[in-house]
Amino acid sequence: MKVTLSVIKADIGSIGGHLKPSAMLFDRVRSFVGERAKGLLIDHYIGSAGDDIHILMTHTKGVDNEDVHKLAWDAFVAGTETAKIQGLYGAGQDLLKDAFSGNVRGLGPASAEMEIEERPNEPFLLFAADKTDPGAFNLPLYLSYSDPMFCPGLMLAPNMNKGFTYTIMDVSHTEGDRVIELNSPEDIYNIACLLRDNERFVVESIHSRNTGEQCVSVSTSRLHNIAGKYTGKDDPVLLARTQGYFPSTGEVLQPYQIGHFVGGFMRGSHVGPLMPLKLNTGTSFFDGPPLITGAAFCVQDGKLTEPVDLFEHPFWDHVRDNVSRKALDIRRQGFSGSAMLPFNELEYTGIVERLGVLDEKFKVR
């Protein structure tokens, strides 16, 4: 059966600063989607990561479907009303436009979607990250789909022997989607040249070269390109089908033990290690650390199983300890050098304005 997996997320308000949506907001979004799902969705699941809430939906309407996107948009509008009633911080933060038109792209919420021909058994993963941007997935996606050190299936599984095709987007280009397709393994040096730059080049999707099927979809919106100003980091979501002729769930997970340094953290303007956390965890230290949550599902005829928490296992406690140490290390150097993002990636205008004033006071000797 052909099924579409759609995940749409937004920050529509949270408790105590940019920490975590309230239970009431969560319930409002859940009941809204539940009421409107009839005739449109087969199944759905609602979760949160940091201060963001996401709606996973299964249906047969294909990607970018207006009705499905409108349902998510309306649910976020309803959630925003609750956020306002409760006085939550940043109520409606990511709803950048007043009215819905067509699909959520360009309106603030982020989406990742895949239309798939369901296999007889269809495991897939939903990752949601906060206090970072879609480039946070670049390294894990390079390692799990191109590096046999992380994905032994590339060597061991004959049905993965042809490798994978990456579709990579230049997110600095605002007049339309500027994308390139590159094949792994032949193009891995070119893929690496692009993916090293997390703030500019972002993996949008990955397809198997053995079957032609899509296995990864990433949200690639850049909020500050849409709004022309800081509106919160882009806090991406990712869907990945696993097993068989795709990397296994464990191979997809392995890179997250690195706790690699990504852009985001406090005021979306710093660099911090990506911490794998349990489902529905909020934000904390220095408005971070940048975090990722993961839920595993199986889907059949569009019906979802309950989620399994990918980072609940005690193994990840050890990783979290290591990542905490990395976060403390980089925070010791405050604003200096690589602890803060480069000038054109700063999400607030204060430094830019100060430098503008100082610029006029400079003298050339």
Residues designated catalytic? 11, 230, 233
Does the protein bind ligand F6R through residue 17 (CB under 6 A)?
yes
Helix (H, G, I), strand (E, B) or coil at 3: strand
Residue of the chain from 20, 54, 131, 241 that contacts ligand F6R (CB under 6 A)? 131
222 vs 235: CA distance, rounded Å: 9
DSSP strand pairing (291-300 vs 275-277): parallel
Q: Which does 273 bind (CB under 5 to 8 A by kind): Mg ion, ligand F6R, none?
A: none
Does the protein bind ligand F6R through residue 20 (CB under 6 A)?
no
Residue of the chain from 36, 54, 59, 267 that contacts ligand F6R (CB under 6 A)? 267
Nearer to ligand F6R, 49 or 57 (CB): 49
Nearer to Mg ion, 113 or 130 (CB): 130
The beta strand positions in 37-163, using DSSP E, are 43-49, 52-59, 110-117, 123-130
Residue of the chain from 20, 28, 233, 320 that contacts ligand F6R (CB under 6 A)? 233
Q: How far is CA 127 from CA 9, 74, 99, 276, 277, in A?
A: 11, 23, 28, 10, 11
Which residues have CB under 8 Å from 281's CB, separation 6+?
20, 49, 50, 291, 293
Per-residue binder mask for Mg ion (CB under 5 A), 231-270, x = binder:
-x--x-----------------------------------
* Run of H or E including 270: strand 270-273
Does the protein bind Mg ion through residue 326 (CB under 5 A)?
no
Residue of the chain from 3, 8, 11, 341 that contacts Mg ion (CB under 5 A)? 11
Q: Which does 52 bind (CB under 5 to 8 A by kind): ligand F6R, Mg ion, none?
A: Mg ion
Q: Which residues pair with 299 in a beta bridge?
A: 304
* Run of H or E including 215: strand 214-218
164 vs 183: CA distance, rounded Å: 6
* Only segment of 1-9, 60-68, 160-168, 263-271 that touches ligand F6R (CB under 6 A): 263-271
Question: Where along the sequence are the contacts to Mg ion (CB under 5 A)?
Answer: 11, 18, 50-52, 90, 130, 232, 235
